[in-house]
Chain A
Amino acid sequence: MGNIGLWFRKEWKHLRKNRELLLLAAPGVLFKFVIAYIPMVGLILAFKFYRYDEGIFGSRWVGFDNFEFLVKSQDALRVIRNTLAYNFVYIVLGTVTALLFALLLNELTGRMVKLYQTTMFLPFFISFVLVGYIGNAFLDHENGFANNLLTMLGFEPRNWYFETGPWLFILPLVSIWKGVGFSTLVYYAGITGISSDYYEAARLDGATRIQMMLRITLPLLKPLIIILFILGLGNIFRGDFGLHYFVPNNVGMNYATTDVIDTYIFRALTKLADINSAAAVGFLQSVVGLVTVIGANYLVRRIDKDSALF
């Protein structure tokens, strides 16, 4: 008892000492509590059969029934493998390209930088539905640009949508195309935030541009890189529905390399309008994301305590 009392008094002191920063964070924290944490009662729907007239709390518990279809699914392994593998590729490839672009952009000055940034950001405007149509313009097997090019070069045209192989490259390519402008901008902003004092000092020491890039810019970007990386890992178990549904055109023949958890769920559950099973899958995706993130954060902590996210 006394111990706890002591601890409380100590903690109270800390609270007082940190009160200014705490107050600064308070609106955001409270806001999240109301807008995000209170509705989390809905997570129990994953274990219930939700009837509107009985309400969230009144509906009957069904245990793990809502997870059953996923466990029994013949495609579970395939879609899980695809989801994890693609997401991993997107994260790594996306980070590397964006970093490279941001570092190179930083070497340039003037108007051109803005032009490049704007151009790279353009695909961000377009919904995946439209991306699907544009993809079709390239891959259509009669009029598509890709096949026109192949025939022009004397190759046989291909049935892109009927094949599984090409999607291993097409999907990451589209993912980069659509997202690289965004991530490049984040890293570029990170670089511009670096105080120029560092560079002045380095220049006095006679450092080259490459050296400054590797010794100053990259290390100072590390926290940002780690944060974006961990954010990506949090969604490792969520497939990009728009990308994997509209771009390969939802054609059964290429599911082997395009089907991910979210597209599978859509296929299996839309007709049944089964919100409970959908909630169950969402719950599972969250849990896997949480475990992955905590694991990754733990690893980062072991290596470099200050860079860990939490």
Chain B
Amino acid sequence: MSRTRTKGMLRGIVILTLLALLAACSNNAGGGNNGGNNGGANSGNTGGNKATNTANTGKSDQNGGEKPDAGASDQLKEAKLTFYYPSNPAGGDQPLVQDEINTYLKEKINATVELKPLSFDEYDTKLNAMMAAGESFDLAWSSRYWLLPYQSNVDKGAFLELTDEMIAKYAPEARANIPDKFWPDMKAVDGKVYAFPIYQVAAKTKSLVIQKRFIDKYNLDVSTIKTYKDIEPFLKTLKENEKGIVPFGMAQNSWGIYVDRDIVGGDGLAVSYAKNDPTFTGISELEQLDRRKEYYATMRSWFKAGYINGDAPILKNINDLKAKGTVAVGIEFTSKPGGEVDEMNVNGGNEVVYVPISDSYFTGISGAMHVISKTSKNPERTLMLINLLNTDKYLYNLICNGIEGKHYAKKDDMYIEPIKDSGYAPNVDWVFGNQFNAYLKPGQTPDVWARTVALNDNAVVSESYGFSLNQESIKSEIANVQAAKEEFQLALETGAVDPEKQLPKFIDKLKASGQEKIDAEADKQWKAFLAAKGK
């Protein structure tokens, strides 16, 4: 038995070797150009390719450094750039618009750009494959928590560092638009900057969204509502008097009205600290969870009383429920200027009112960014393109709205009217550049950008901006904690389970998954950060 097995294996090995030889031969014959690339640098095929790519970028970096005076466009060699971004299908006229853009760009910076829009589902997959393969491209769109996430791709070495000198040299105008106090948000864990922000709404306020017809009917004085708890009597009234109305609507993508006005931080920030604490001592996740006990109990009582829709933890999308127009009170996380108009359409045409229940807090400018690939052959020209996209009103509106008269009609200095089915309508202004340069479309108020700027400027900027957690040593703990959170958080937040029983289980699981280790590490890094800042 065993003898036949060894023989079988030997046979297998012989065949494999023969095949390997064959394959090697054919590879050598066919891949002459690859062989050239490999010459001397790295062993291994892919390694060789990578090496050439990094060598290229290295070279162009040097070029940028060595010739400080090569600013004027006539001295620049023509560059062909590629720009990948998430978008809706733009329509058949994209080549036309691209030609128009290139005519302009050639004159300005002697470059042409190839537009490569990808749908939202494809964007990450395709870019990850391309970057992992070291494929050459220039410009892409990134975000802090959404598509092409910033930090993890910085960790993987996908993006090119944008030094202060580079920015000062190639994108000074665009940089001048960004308030200095916001800039630290662009820093990655290592303190370096790898992206250029696309300036837009950067402040958020948590609000309750209340249908106006109920406010009027029951004479609700919205100025008395400061926190989630203040809405309870109103929900009770609704439950008792309005049949078929969901007093408080929640879903898998809409939960978390808890606000602790004594704390700076909370959702999405690396650390939280008490507002009145001059030492900025970090408050750990477990402590924060402890503070939420009462909140979870309230949610539970709401759920049992029928204020919250019974399928809240199952419902994927709150808009499916809101569309019925039966959600009396909902949750809004951004509350951007003019948002109530959108919200009305989502709520089956019922007018709504935002009632803020949190301070307006700064959420960072890294929600939308341009990044330059490490494989880019023309990083400095790409940065010049970024500069234009964020400052040049003509270029920006051309790439957003298409050609005047063909894809949109100009109504006055500020307003345009898109032409229906014109063949170019990507509808993604926020991937192209500074939105404050955009023409206004019907439905937008004339002061929308002014209000947004004011909102940004007045937002509370947390002490922790510029700080992000280095996750290297706590990677596995974070993964497991994340899994535990998904198991319990939603059920607790929607009141679907009894916090008396489930909260202790949740806490136990967090601890067992290493939450304490994460908290300790975060605290350590936070203290070091503060110390470095001199606080």
Q: Do the two chains bind?
A: yes
Which B residues, 434 to 485, have Cβ-Cβ distances below 8 Å to chain A?
Answer: 471, 475-480, 482-484
Which A residues, 32 to 66, have Cβ-Cβ distances below 8 Å to chain B?
Answer: 33-34, 38, 50-58, 65
> In the bound complex, what is the Cα–Cα distance between A72 and B510 (angstroms)?
12
Interface class of chain A by DSSP = helix
Q: B478–A272 contact, CB under 8 A?
A: yes
Segment among B107-115, B149-157, B348-356, B525-533 that sits at the interface with chain A: B149-157
Segment among B41-49, B182-190, B214-222, B360-368 that sits at the interface with chain A: B41-49
Contact of B482 among A159, A250, A272 (CB under 8 A): A272
Residues of B contacting A187 with CB < 8 Å? none
Which A residues, 251 to 304, have Cβ-Cβ distances below 8 Å to chain B?
Answer: 251-253, 255, 264, 267-269, 271-275, 277
Q: B490–A74 contact, CB under 8 A?
A: no
Q: A274–B313 contact, CB under 8 A?
A: no
> In the bound complex, what is the Cα–Cα distance between A56 and B131 (angstroms)?
12
Interface class of chain B by DSSP = helix
> In the bound complex, what is the Cα–Cα distance between A14 and B503 (angstroms)?
70
Q: A30–B50 contact, CB under 8 A?
A: no
Q: B509–A267 contact, CB under 8 A?
A: no
Residues of A contacting B50 with CB < 8 Å? 52-55, 58
Q: A274–B475 contact, CB under 8 A?
A: yes
B342 CB to nearest chain A CB (Å): 26
Residues of B contacting A268 with CB < 8 Å? 479-480, 482-483
Residues of B contacting A74 with CB < 8 Å? 480, 484, 509, 512-513
A141 part of interface (Cβ distance < 8 Å):
yes
> In the bound complex, what is the Cα–Cα distance between A74 and B513 (angstroms)?
6
Whether A273 contacts B152 in the complex (CB less than 8 A), given A34-B23, A55-B50, A72-B477, comes out as: yes
Q: B513–A72 contact, CB under 8 A?
A: yes
Q: Interface size (B, Cβ < 8 Å)?
A: 57
Residues of B contacting A30 with CB < 8 Å? 19, 22-23
Annotate B482-494 by CB proximity to A: 1 below 8 A, 0 otherwise: 1110111111000
B426 part of interface (Cβ distance < 8 Å):
no
Contact of A52 among B22, B43, B313, B374 (CB under 8 A): B374
> In the bound complex, what is the Cα–Cα distance between A268 and B476 (angstroms)?
9
Q: A29–B19 contact, CB under 8 A?
A: yes
Please indicate which of the listed interface residues B23, B47, B476 has the most CB atoms of chain A within 10 Å of its own CB.
Answer: B476
Annotate B238-270 by CB proximity to A: 1 below 8 A, 0 otherwise: 000000000000001000000000000000000
A60 CB to nearest chain B CB (Å): 11
Q: A11–B14 contact, CB under 8 A?
A: yes
Residues of B contacting A267 with CB < 8 Å? 482-483, 486
Q: A51–B156 contact, CB under 8 A?
A: yes
Which residue of A is nearest B54, CB measured?
Answer: A53
> In the bound complex, what is the Cα–Cα distance between A56 and B157 (angstroms)?
13
B310 part of interface (Cβ distance < 8 Å):
yes
> In the bound complex, what is the Cα–Cα distance between A162 and B50 (angstroms)?
50
Residues of B contacting A127 with CB < 8 Å? none
B385 part of interface (Cβ distance < 8 Å):
no
Please indicate which of the listed interface residues A51, A53, A56, A65 has the most CB atoms of chain B within 10 Å of its own CB.
Answer: A53
Contact of B313 among A56, A75, A251 (CB under 8 A): A251
A270 CB to nearest chain B CB (Å): 8
> In the bound complex, what is the Cα–Cα distance between A252 and B493 (angstroms)?
12
A73 part of interface (Cβ distance < 8 Å):
yes
A138 CB to nearest chain B CB (Å): 13
Residues of A contacting B49 with CB < 8 Å? 55
Contact of A253 among B316, B491, B513 (CB under 8 A): B491
Residues of B contacting A264 with CB < 8 Å? 483
> In the bound complex, what is the Cα–Cα distance between A267 and B471 (angstroms)?
17
Residues of B contacting A68 with CB < 8 Å? 475-476
Given A53-B157, A53-B374, 20 more pairs with CB closer than 8 A: A30-B23, A34-B23, A38-B23, A52-B131, A52-B132, A52-B374, A53-B134, A58-B47, A58-B50, A69-B477, A72-B476, A74-B513, A141-B310, A251-B490, A252-B491, A264-B483, A268-B479, A268-B483, A272-B478, A273-B149
Q: Report A's interface with B, CB cutoff 8 A.
A: 11, 29-30, 33-34, 38, 50-58, 65, 68-69, 72-75, 136, 140-142, 159, 161-162, 249-253, 255, 264, 267-269, 271-275, 277
**Chain A to chain B contacts (Cβ below 8 Å), 29 pairs:** A11-B11, A30-B19, A33-B23, A38-B23, A50-B132, A52-B50, A52-B131, A52-B134, A57-B46, A58-B47, A73-B513, A136-B314, A140-B311, A141-B311, A161-B313, A161-B314, A249-B314, A250-B252, A251-B314, A252-B486, A267-B482, A267-B483, A268-B479, A269-B479, A272-B471, A272-B479, A274-B475, A274-B479, A277-B475
